[in-house]
Each structure stands twice: as C-alpha cells, then as structure tokens.
Amino acid sequence: MIRQKTGCGPRWRYYQHYYVNRSAAEKRLTYIYKSLTDVIMNTNSFIVTNKQMELDLKLAPFDLWATKVHVLMLAKQKIIDEKIAKKILDSLEGIDREWKQGKFKIDPDKGLHLTIEAKVIEKIGTDGFFMHTARSRNDQVMTAEMIYLREKVLDISHKLLKLLKTLKSLTEKNIQTVMPGYTHMQPAKPTTFGQWNMSYFDMFTKCFDSLKFAFEKYNLCPLGAVESYGTSWQIDRAYTADMLGFAGVWEIPAEAISSRGFPQLAYLDSLKDIAIVISKIAADLLLFTTFEYGYITLADTTAVQMGSVTGSSIMPQKKNPDVLELLRSTAPQIIGYDSIVANLLSGLPMGYNRDTREVKEYIESGFSKVGDALESLTEVLKTMEVNKEKMYQAVLQNYSLSTDLADYISQQKGFPYRKVYKLVGELVKIKIAQKKALTDLTAKELAEFDLTGDELKSVLSPINAVMKRKHIGGASKQVMKNIIRERKKKLNSYAGWIASAWAKIQSSKEKTRKEIYGLS
C-alpha cells in the first residue's frame, strides 16, 4: 500500500496522478513501456555506432550537396514552392558552414540524414518537411557515398600517379645499371635496375587502369531511385545527375539501390591489386637492403640507425626497414577487406538491405591504408641509395651470365642450343667447385667451340649481355628509351584524366552555387 502524502502544487498533483491514483495495470504498462524504450535505445546505439557516426561525419558535406541539388530539382519541377526551397537551401547552407567550422554533430538517435532534416526543421519550421519529398534515405545515403567515393578515388589516383612518376625517373637514371635477375630466388640472368623499376611501373599502370575503369563504370547517380522502386512525383533525374557531376543516371531504381556496396567492392579490388604490387616491391627491397645483398641503402628519412622508431633498443648497428615490413603487411589486410565486403553482399535479396551499411568501414580503411602506403613507398624510392657497383659485382660472381654464354655459342658457332646448354652447365659446375667465377673461364676450356679470348671477354661482359636484348620490351638502351617515351605519354594521359574529373566536380559545385543564388 502506497502511503498518501499531503501537500499541494504541481509536483504533488503529478505525483498524485501518476503514482497514487493509478491502477496496478497502468503501473505495469508504464514499466513495460520504459523497458521497451530502454531496449529500443540500446538497439539504436547498435545501429548508429560511434564508428558509423565518425564515418558519416565525413559524408556530411556530400549529403548536404546532394540535398541542395534535390531541393533545387523539386523547385524546378514545381513540386515545392520556390520560397520554401529558398528557406530550405538557406538552412542547408548554414549547416554546411557548421560542418566546416567543426560544429556539426550527429544525433546518435537519428543518424546523419535525419539529423540534417531535424536541423532544417528546427531552423525554418514545418516547411523543412518538404525537403524529403520524392526521396528516401536509401537513395540519399547512396548518392552521398557515390560522391564521396568519387573524390577518394581521384585522391588515391593522384598518389599512384606520383609513385609512377618516381618509378619512371628511376628507370631513366638506371637504364645501364646492371643487376642480377632472379627466378626461384636464385640468380638467373643479368638485367638492369631500370628494367626492375619499369616492371613495377607497368604493374602499377594496370592497377591505375583498373581503378579508372571502376570509376567510370560506377560514375552514375542513384538519386531518384527512392527506396528502390521510383516515385509518382514528376522528378528530373537527369538534372540532379548533371548538377552533381555524374556521367549519367543510375537508371533502374531497384538495381541502383541493390547495388550499394558494389562500387566499393570494385574499388577494393583495385586497391587490393595496388597493395599486392606494393607488397612485392617491399619484399624485393627488404632483400636488397640486407647486409648480404647490399644493393640498396635506405635514407635516414625512412630508416635510422639507433633511431627511436627504426633502430634496435639493444643492437646499436641496426637500421631496421620497418617501413618496408609495414608496406608488405598492407596487402593481406586489403585482401581481407575485399573478401569481407564480397561476403557481406553475397546472398542479399533485391532492394535495400542495412547489411550494406557495414561496407563503409572497410572501403574507408582500404583507401586510408593504401593511400598511406603509396606515399611511404614513393618516399622510400625517391630517397634510397642505389649501390651500382655491388649489383655489378654480384652479376660477375653469381654465374648468371651462363645462359648468355650458351646463347652466344649457339648463335655464332652453329651448335644446337641444348648441346651447348649441357656443356656450359658442366663448366659452371667445375668453376663452382673450384670457387672461381665464370669470368675466370679461358678460351682453352672452350676449345671445342672455337672461341677466341676477345670473344669470351665480350660475351661475359654484363653490360654487353643486357644491351643485346633488342626485342620488344628488351633491356637494351634504345629499346628502354622508346619504352620510357611511351610511358611518359601514359603518365600525361593519367594526369589529364585526373584533372578533367576534378574540373567536372568543381564545375558542378559552382553550378549548384549559381542555381541556389538564382533563387534569391
């Protein structure tokens, strides 16, 4: 039994009504309602996590741009009054300024998109409700993501272009820098450090082409697809696509909304390829920087002896290539993100599914990690020291000229290659057993092939060996110069594409500003 209190005033009347004069059933319902509310609030915090709010905060300016364009379209199509549109646009501009000043906060009970809507309504009253006409959060969020991703791709493309320019420069400087080529991690044939750099250059250009292809494939505007099935409102989807700088409209609404996550997967595929090539070049450099190889010395800007980060805490001689090890570690992480996103998308039915929300975290991490890796690798390559003499001496000592010797004898003396291959192989065995280099061979030891001493000296010259490779893609000086000339054209093409894409985005933003000003 609840003890009656005496008194008066609003607090007493509230207490009397809600706690004294209520039936047990009403009290039970209040308890249930409070319990359900607590559950709902806990569920909200699971759906709108701190991580998602952090990611959505980055999306805010892109969502605001798309919303402004949507409102402009509604006014253009006479769906809402121009005066109402002007009020909405003014409030959106104010929210944009808040974001730039770092004052914009996402309400965790609403998420980004409803927070923006609530702020507009708070600023201008019920006219703010018109803003969401003929639009769903489904096409709203996907449009914001597509605009955001577009700029992330161009940013990563620019970083990749800088790396390509560095590799091209290293190729030019090392056309005649002889080094060992390896297969199965064993000395194979001499090559040049220029060819090594150009090999990675071409791998990265394929990655660039893949990224560019994905960009152009998905440069489509989903705005107007609504929840997944279009609308009876007479909207102009071509107008909004053009105003937002897209190449076209993402036409079929259900396909557009159901494809959320596919652009991110395509970009992760390209980022994965980039990361794998980075891991390969890092693996090479980790070997080349060892004391035993000594082909490359890292600059103090990337590895410091007795440094607090890259030195050993106990071994004073150590200059650890931590940066290369972390570059190598990037690939398995991006491969993991790619696999996770593919699995998230697999088996989803047609229409919008909240599962696709999770994709944001992995594509963001992918861009961040690969972007940092590209910048770090570029710095390593630009500042490292190439120990040309060590590379040259390795070729002289590691018997990798054996094939060139066999080739010469077969070409010039008319002997079948397989016969020469066996005989040269036997001579190499002897030299290895004698702990002598191949350059210690004498014409007398090759008497049956009728080689002179001058011929033998010429064929066992590392620079002569690589300069004879005059076929397409060969290491000879003239072929490499031709290759570099063609690759410069490719770099110019890439730079032009990036500049053109950015120019279209900036032009679209300016067009939006003018349209808004035109309503004033």
List the catalytic residues.
184, 312
Closest by Cα among 285, 231, 233, 224 to 256? 224
Q: Name, in order, each residue with C-beta under 8 angstroms of 265's C-beta and a sequence gap of 6 or more.
A: 338, 341, 342, 345, 359
φ, ψ dihedrals at 88, nearest 5°: -65, -45
Structure tokens at 257: 């909304």
Q: Is the dihedral of CA 215, 220, 226, 229 positive or negative?
A: negative
Q: Please, how many CA atoms are within 13 Å of residue 214, restricted to the half-sphere of its CB?
A: 24
DSSP code per residue over 280-339: HHHHHHHHHTSTTT-SEE--TTT--TT-TTTS-SS-TT----HHHHHHHHHHHHHHHHHH
CB 353 within 8 A of CB 318: no
Collapsing DSSP to helix, strand or coil, 191 comes out as strand
Structure-token match 């390509």, residue found: 164
Q: What distance in Å separates the CA atoms of residue 374 and residue 303, rounded to the nearest whole number?
A: 17
CB 283 within 8 A of CB 332: no
Structure tokens at 423: 């005989």
Closest by Cα among 423, 253, 439, 270 to 338? 270
